[in-house]
Amino acid sequence: MLRVYNTLSRRLEVFSPLNPGTVLMYVCGPTVYDYTHVGHARTYVAFDVIKRYLRLKGYDVVHVQNITDIDDKIIRRSREEGRSWREVADEFTRDYLEVLEKLNIKVDLHPRVTEHISEIIEFIGLLLEKGYAYVAPSGSVYFDVDSYGDYGRLSGRLSKEEWGQEQEYVKEKKHPYDFALWKAAKPGEPWWESPWGPGRPGWHIECSVMATLYLGERFDIHGGGSDLIFPHHENERAQSEAALGVKPWVRYWLHTGMLTVEGQKMSKSLGNIVPLKDLFREWQPEVVRLWLATVHYRSVVNFSDASLHQAGRNYERLANAVQALQEVLRKEEYSFKLSDEGRKLLREMARLRRGFYEAMDEDFNVSKAFSYVYELTSIVFSRILEKPEAAVALRALALLEEFNKVLGVLDKFFSRAPPLPLDQLIELIVEVRKRLRKAREYELADWIREQLLKQGVRLYDRGEETVWRLL
RNA sequence: GCCGGGGUGGCCGAGAGGCUAAGGCGGCCGGCUGCAGACCGGCUUAUUCCCGGGUUCGAGUCCCGGCCCCGGCUCCA
């Protein structure tokens, strides 16, 4: 039985989706005004892990993650760089999609705000019609927070003094805590035609509109970074429940913990923002993903060289375990009777599998769950490879493949259909090197090892024998 | 100030009333070894879980009171 922490109730709740067997999930994606950084990745990987676990449990998950491609920061950047807002948005959208691909995150749908202007206008119209919004003299439309009645509960801000936002419009708003649904265009700004004059959507409305359009008027999981709880999600909740007349609009609000860099907040002023495109130059995407995937989604993650390094070691060990097992299956005859040790190992693996699911069921406790994965790799090296039995190796491999459904870092080892011609070429080179070593031609042998490493093939000599592993 | 989350071995991080407090990283020693790495074994590695009280037969785990850290509170994943 899966339990999740709901920000709205501030407690663990039994997870039970609207429609049994299906999970509708909306995650707040980026505003594309700059390169995607590790903080974004932290959130996207966390929700990808959640989605993958739900799928492993048998749910059909629909994952929508928006792209906000019009906003003040995009406009500012386009002015600074003398190009159109669309060029800016396109460039960073491309970067974002590349990052997701490298991190092995597959989102079902990435709706872009500017492709949904008419739906947004319609939604705002509905709010006006029902009396939850008003048009200001400038042509901007604001949400009337007082008309909603349940504002502040998500963020735990129950007094109006804590609601202040969008100070720049304070003179034309009824209350300082009202927020813009539609922003009237100022000279030189991009605009779309609307019943209230030329303008563009406010920041919060797009998520309400696109979530409703693609998931329906009610859905299961709404996620994002915990910095979005106020005002973004508070506002989404208010305008959606008001316009659609549903309650609760979202069943489970899930928020990820923030990322710090060497113990400090990541910010422009500290100059410590780490773009993924830079990080990938130093660490392979699988390592970055493993690092983020094995941290609990609600805790603060600290970016440091040591933590990436640890993930790198863990990745190598997992990759080695999988490949070593595959090698056993290539070489060992299938046995039709298991040894006592073999039967014991099967029982232990069943225990690890159970442990993994129990941990994940408790609000996606990945740290605990992955302790079982690492325990499995330890069993692989210390016991299974000691006295290999094909059936046991096969079981261990199947289990690793199952765990990888959530981890998502070992795909390339499982998607390979060995032996490929490439494998035979590598083996040929390894054999040549073996003969060189025998002839004590170490300089050349070491050179071959170096060159293969550059191609992503690492060699390990074990006495006379040499094994090779892909990175 | 307000709203959250925390303080467990050198580091990361499980454990949330009851067997000897997971797992990993790093370091050291040994095995293997032309070198490197990988892998194996051992040690570092917790009479102890920030401090002080309390509840209990029994508390990292629950309660009370402190101290400290991190994040959010204009825009932010």
Predicted confidence at residue A392, as pLDDT, reads 93
Under CATH, to which class is A3-302 assigned? alpha beta
Residue A384 CA and nucleotide B30 C1' are separated, in Å, by 23
Q: Report the distance separating Cα A52 and Cα A288, nearest Å.
A: 17
Let me know how many helices (H) and strands (E) chain A has, helices first. Answer: 15, 15
Q: Report the distance separating Cα A412 and Cα A308, nearest Å.
A: 21
* Nucleotide minimizing C1' to CA distance for residue A38: B77
Residue A272 CA and nucleotide B32 C1' are separated, in Å, by 44
What are the pLDDT tens digits along chain A (471 aa)? 888 888 888 888 889 999 999 999 999 999 999 999 999 999 999 999 999 999 999 999 999 999 999 999 999 999 999 999 999 999 999 999 999 999 999 999 999 999 999 999 999 999 999 999 999 999 999 999 999 988 988 888 888 888 888 887 888 899 889 999 999 999 989 999 999 999 999 989 999 999 999 999 999 999 999 889 888 999 999 999 999 999 899 999 999 988 888 777 887 777 788 899 999 998 999 999 999 999 889 888 888 888 888 888 899 999 999 999 998 988 888 888 999 989 989 988 998 998 899 889 988 989 888 889 998 998 999 889 888 899 999 999 999 999 999 999 999 999 876 667 788 899 999 999 999 999 999 999 999 999 999 898 999 988 888 999 998
Q: What is the ipTM of this complex?
A: 0.89
Helix ranges, A283-334 (H): 285-293, 305-331
Predicted confidence at residue A74, as pLDDT, reads 93
Place of tokens 């199947």: A398
Predicted confidence at residue A318, as pLDDT, reads 94
Residue A295 CA and nucleotide B62 C1' are separated, in Å, by 27
Per the omega criterion (within 30 degrees of 0), is the bond before A419 cis?
Answer: yes
Which chain B positions have some atom within 7 A of a protein CB? 2-5, 11-15, 22-26, 32-41, 70-77
Predicted confidence at residue A416, as pLDDT, reads 74
Which parts of A332-454 are beta strand (E)?
none
Q: What is the dihedral of CA A211, A214, A220, A223, to 10 degrees?
A: -40
* Nucleotide minimizing C1' to CA distance for residue A167: B74
What are the extents of the domains in chain A?
A: 3-302, 306-410, 421-470
Q: Which residue from A419, A381, A420 is spatially nearest to A400, judged by alpha carbons?
A: A381
Q: Which residue from A65, A25, A8, A21 is spatially nearest to A248, judged by alpha carbons?
A: A8
Residue A300 CA and nucleotide B5 C1' are separated, in Å, by 8
Which parts of A92-236 are beta strand (E)?
133-135, 141-143, 179-184, 199-201, 219-225
Correct CATH for A306-410 of 2.30.40.10, 1.10.1660.10, 3.60.150.10, 1.20.120.640: 1.20.120.640
Helix ranges, A103-153 (H): 117-129
Q: Report the distance separating Cα A67 and Cα A65, nearest Å.
A: 7
- Other C-beta atoms within 10 Å of A451: how many? 11
Residue A414 CA and nucleotide B29 C1' are separated, in Å, by 37
Q: Which DSSP letter does residue A249 get? A: S
Q: Alpha carbon A2 to chain centroid distance?
A: 20
Place of tokens 């913990």: A257
Predicted confidence at residue A331, as pLDDT, reads 84
